[in-house]
Structure 1
Amino acid sequence: MSPNDSSDGGAVTPAKTRGAEGSRLRSGIESTETEQRSDRLRRGYESRRSTGDRRLTAGLLALGVLSLGGAIALPTAQRVLFPLAGVGLFGGVLAYGLSAGRFIDASDGERVYGAFADNLAAVTDTLGLTDERTYVPVPNSTGVEVRLLLSGRVDHLLSGEGDAPIVDPDGRGLLLEPSGGDLYDEFREALTEPVATSPEPIAEQLIDALCHRFEFVTDADWVVSGDGQRVEITVSDSAFGPIDRFDHPVPSFLGVGFAAALDSEVSLEVSVEAERNAGVVVCRWHVGEASQSTGERVPS
């Protein structure tokens, strides 16, 4: 019998104890690294946002001070410079007071998006298109942009440089610019590190932006599948209402983000859990499989 064996089947052996301690240690290290990456992302977003506020405040205050000094030095110009000084100083103080955050009522944003969603949903119904939504990277003169494909195939819809929207003359498909496209561009510019290229860190970056940069949701959790070709994301308290509406900004941003970062088309399934005021977004990509939109094989 080895030293680590025990006649008591229920006894905890030293080997088991060391294994459990090692597992807890690895889990703690991974948790710490995740928190540190999230903190870096959050600091980067806050720094970019506050820089513009500081510049505006400083510019207005400088205008006020210079105008006031000019009014004192040039009595003949006081009628113009004193009001200008007042505007600059008052504007600077006001900008400083508002720089902590810009408030837009969530219900107003939801109403604006709701009209857009209802109109496009009516268009797709009129064309008889399916509910399948695929976010597809499309090459253009400046690189790659992501488009929202509704039925059809990209190679049948593209013309020129692939500017959206494009409607198949036979009504078999529709290629649109997604609501998450410009959001993804802003997210990428605000990052203090490169966009990740594997599913787990991509999900972390995108969700951190949804919660802290854009504040579209209050909380989110995600699980990446074992084969690395699927992620399920649960979000809470969407600022734009139920996330299962047409090209909702939350799933659209996620679809665009995964499609751009992985350079692969991404299909979405979206559902709502009304009792928890939550929604679930399932993103699937087709790495290593035949592309559904072009018929070509996507390299892994």
Structure 2
Amino acid sequence: MSLGQSLTDDEPETDPDVTTARVDLLEAENDRLRRELAQARQARYRRAAFGTGLVGLVAIVGAFFFPVASTVLFALGGTGLFTALLIRYLTPERFVSATVGRRIYEALATDHESLTNELGLGETQLYTPIDTDSNPAVRLFVPQQTEYSIPDDEELDSVLVLPADDRGRGVAFEPTGDALVDELRSATNGDLGSDLDVLAGQLADGLVEVFELVDGATPNTDPENGRLSVEVSGSAYGPVDRFDHPVASTVATAVAAERTTPVELDVTETEDGNYVVTCREL
């Protein structure tokens, strides 16, 4: 009898109670390991701050006993104490796992998907820059009809978009990527490129290096046709083709904002499990 047959005979794989118990056990173990990892990181930072501060303090004390080298020792001591303060106060106090963030996003995505389905809206997702007195930003507009028209900025500032023209009816949300784009601007000294090639490179680097939302990102552009694509792998927040996924939303929001034009978002899954996020200017 093989090992696989033995497991099958003892605990049928189709037993839902066994499967549920295993999942609960694994989730509890994962939570415990995450807490221990966060505590270990904090302890490592505290030890580094203490050690660096101690070296700085010893150097300053030594400067009084060795006047010949006092200049060097004071400089070393000041550097050590300053570095210790940076480590102590600039170190994140809390680490939020990707699983927690993913579950929060999935709950919001489910609600948005349910709302658009119940309202009988289409699958088209348009990221549109608006400029109103209350909220100059980008809105995610989901039109009701296939042959749509983009409403005015004031109408897009509401969740339920009900203009006189039926073609402009639908719903509008604040994109998940709106705040992330602001963070990306800060990481690039407040400047994102309006050129598609430059912007594509900044977005690819931001998704991987700044936000760590994906393991890899490869940009591709077609400036003549107003198209920007990013192929991503290893998404921390699950399938990228879900509603307003942080990865896709960040790309679409940035393109709409920096190019100051509405863009249509399309996300496709490749044969090897990657996702291609494509924005086309309208």
TM class, shorter-length: 0.5 to 0.7
Percent pairwise identity: 35
CA distance in 2, matches of 1:242, 1:276: 13
Report the equivalent of 1:256.
253
CA distance in 1, matches of 2:92, 2:162: 47
RMSD: 3.4
Report the equivalent of 1:296.
none
Equivalent of 1:108 in 93, 100, 109: 100
CA distance in 1, matches of 2:188, 2:92: 20
Report the equivalent of 1:7.
none
Cα deviation, residue 102, structure 1: 5.5
Asked if the contact 2:130–2:139 (Cα under 8 Å) also holds between the matched residues in 1, the reply is yes
Following superposition of structure 1 onto structure 2, how do residues 14-163 of structure 1 map, counting pairs within 5 Å? 96=88, 99=91, 103-141=95-133, 144-151=136-143, 153-155=149-151, 158-159=154-155, 163=157
Residue 223 of structure 1 aligns to a residue whose secondary structure is strand
Count of paired positions: 198
Following superposition of structure 1 onto structure 2, how do residues 216-235 of structure 1 map, counting pairs within 5 Å? 216-225=213-222, 227-235=224-232
CA change 1:149–1:272 in 2 (3 A) is same
TM-score by structure 2 length? 0.61
CA distance in 1, matches of 2:235, 2:89: 27
CA distance in 1, matches of 2:229, 2:139: 21
Report the equivalent of 1:175.
172
- 2:275 is the counterpart of 1:283: no
- 2:129 is the counterpart of 1:166: no
TM-score by structure 1 length? 0.58
Asked if the contact 2:109–2:242 (Cα under 8 Å) also holds between the matched residues in 1, the reply is yes
CA distance in 2, matches of 1:131, 1:96: 48
Report the equivalent of 1:265.
262
Residue 251 of structure 2 aligns to a residue whose secondary structure is helix
Q: Deviations over 1:131-171 (max 9, x none)?
A: 00010011112783110010154436834xx5342343889
Q: Which AA in structure 2 matches 1:112?
A: I
Cα deviation, residue 104, structure 1: 2.3
Q: Deviations over 1:154-199 (max 9, x none)?
A: 436834xx53423438893111111111111121123226221110
Report the equivalent of 1:71.
none
Cα deviation, residue 233, structure 1: 1.2
Q: Which AA in structure 2 matches 1:106?
A: A
Unmatched tracts of structure 2, length 5 or more: 1-44, 54-83
Q: Deviations over 1:24-61 (max 9, x none)?
A: xxxxxxxxxxxxxxxxxxxxxxxxxxxxx9xxx9xxx9
Unmatched tracts of structure 1, length 5 or more: 1-52, 62-91, 287-300
CA distance in 2, matches of 1:219, 1:122: 31
Equivalent of 1:237 in 214, 234, 242: 234
